Amino acid sequence: MIENARILRSTICLIGAMALSGSIALAQEDGPPSEVTQWVFQPAFDQTDAGWDNGLIPWVKAVEEATQGTVKIRVEPVGALTSGSEAFGAAAAGQTDGYAGWATVYGGDMPEGMLAFGLAMGARNSEQAWEAMWGNPDYKIGDLVQEAAHERNLHWIGWTNQGPNAMFTKFRVDKLEDLAGRKMRAGGPHALFHAAMGGAPVSMNAGDIYTALKLGTIDGTYWDTGGIDDMSFHEVINYAIMPGWCPAQHQEIFVNLDSWNALTQWQRDQIEGIFEETYFQTSKMHADGVEEALQILRDAGGEVIELSDEEVARMRQKSIEEVWPQVASQSERNARGVELWTKYLKEKGEY
């Protein structure tokens, strides 16, 4: 009898210990872990780029707040750890924990990044971009990009609309024919657009653009509008042509997939939970910077040209017919993404 009672007490204690252990494990899964994860990011740009203060850094702060300080991120400027062209691959290889930039322009080995970057004359604004990429279950084009990112050992976790990627030129543009033969600095998707409009795209590092414009080596450049004053382009160009090649050009944030999977489920849920919030927050920050940058250009004696609705429609039609097929040809996912974007614009009555 005594022995049975002892066994019963031992069993109860064991069950109690297991229950307590399970409760602790559950609490750890449902809340912040005791350990702090330290990440190191290097984007494809430095503090002078509008994507630093208006894109990446607000996201970093939001991540640290959402995870209650259990994920801390140190951001190094381009060149500190690797070059801009190598930064995307460095994050994929685990040499850094994350990357911010444009997978289609720097790194270039993920064609699906074009769907996140923005198609030529595609989305007009942040609302359209979000609806087609993530918000409307009939499209979810973002899932295609995420699949491609995972294949490259990356997880797409941040996004911001940098506003119009406009044309900044030394010559006047009122119609697409005015671009014929003009040498413009353009890379990746905007190079496809410029060539389709009859221009001559020129590949060039960002740091060389100012001097090339000043010397007349090129006639203009494509750039996110809010960043022209950061680059001092207002000193060497005469015109800003709006909305340029892409009314809503985007920048992405990727985390190394191994680093991402090493987090607890609670941490991952917290970071996923701020994706949409930080997208619209940082996109508004970029939009606010657009008007400020254009005013700086006006004050320097430059002119802002708003293309007519008719001309924008012509450029969009030519882009869909000549540029989008080139994007679609680069992968099966790109082809599906272009198909969905075309369907989306048709249902919006814009194509």
What CATH number should be reported for the domain holding residue 41? 3.40.190.170
| Higher pLDDT pick, 178 / 106 | 178
Whether 170 and 300 map to the same domain: the answer is yes
In a domain, 117, yes or no: no
In a domain, 17, yes or no: no
Whether 103 and 193 map to the same domain: the answer is no
- What was the pLDDT predicted at 26? 45
Whether the predicted pLDDT of 136 surpasses 60: yes
Q: Report the number of distinct structural domains present in the chain.
A: 2
Whether 79 and 217 map to the same domain: the answer is no
Q: How many CA atoms lie within 13 A of 121 on its CB side?
A: 25
Lowest average pLDDT, out of 203-207, 249-253, 287-291, goes to: 203-207
Structure confidence at residue 210 as a pLDDT band (50, 70, 90): very high
- Count of residues in the chain: 351
In a domain, 317, yes or no: yes
Mean pLDDT of 326-347: 95
Whether 231 and 316 map to the same domain: the answer is yes
Structure confidence at residue 350 as a pLDDT band (50, 70, 90): confident
Whether the predicted pLDDT of 23 surpasses 70: no
- What was the pLDDT predicted at 107? 55
Whether 174 and 237 map to the same domain: the answer is yes
- What was the pLDDT predicted at 29? 61
Structure confidence at residue 10 as a pLDDT band (50, 70, 90): low
Could you tell me the CA-to-CA distances from 189 to 25, 75, 129, 192 in Å, in that order? 48, 27, 17, 5
Whether 67 and 105 map to the same domain: the answer is yes
Whether 58 and 89 map to the same domain: the answer is yes
Nearest to 187 by CA among 252, 249, 248, 129: 249
Whether the predicted pLDDT of 28 surpasses 50: no
Whether 75 and 42 map to the same domain: the answer is yes
Structure confidence at residue 16 as a pLDDT band (50, 70, 90): low
Whether 284 and 199 map to the same domain: the answer is no
Which of 288, 309, 339 marks a domain boundary?
A: 288
Could you tell me the CA-to-CA distances from 272 to 25, 268, 275 in Å, in that order? 22, 6, 5
Lowest average pLDDT, out of 43-57, 85-99, 105-119, 211-225, goes to: 105-119
Lowest average pLDDT, out of 104-113, 160-169, 240-249, goes to: 104-113
Lowest average pLDDT, out of 43-52, 102-111, 162-171, 297-306, goes to: 102-111
Distance CA 211, CA 134 (A): 40
Q: In which residue are the tokens 């790194």 written?
A: 107
What values do phi and psi take at 240, rounded to 5? Answer: -115, 120
In a domain, 14, yes or no: no
Mean pLDDT of 187-213: 92
Whether 227 and 156 map to the same domain: the answer is no
Mean pLDDT of 303-324: 95
Query: Which residue range is the domain that position 89 belongs to?
Result: 37-110+138-162+250-288
Mean pLDDT for the chain overall: 91
In a domain, 244, yes or no: yes
Dump pLDDT digits (tens) for 32-83: 999 999 999 999 999 988 899 999 999 999 999 999 999 999 999 999 999 9
- What was the pLDDT predicted at 100? 97
Mean pLDDT of 139-165: 97
Whether 61 and 186 map to the same domain: the answer is no
In a domain, 115, yes or no: no
Give whichever of 1-5, 11-15, 245-249 has the largest mean pLDDT. 245-249
Mean pLDDT of 205-220: 93
Q: In which residue are the tokens 């322009």 written?
A: 105
- My answer on whether omega of the bond before 243 falls inside 30° of 0, hence cis, is yes
In a domain, 104, yes or no: yes
Which of 272, 288, 304 marks a domain boundary?
A: 288
- What was the pLDDT predicted at 330? 92
Report field, pTM of the whole predicted structure over 0.95: no
Whether 303 and 173 map to the same domain: the answer is yes
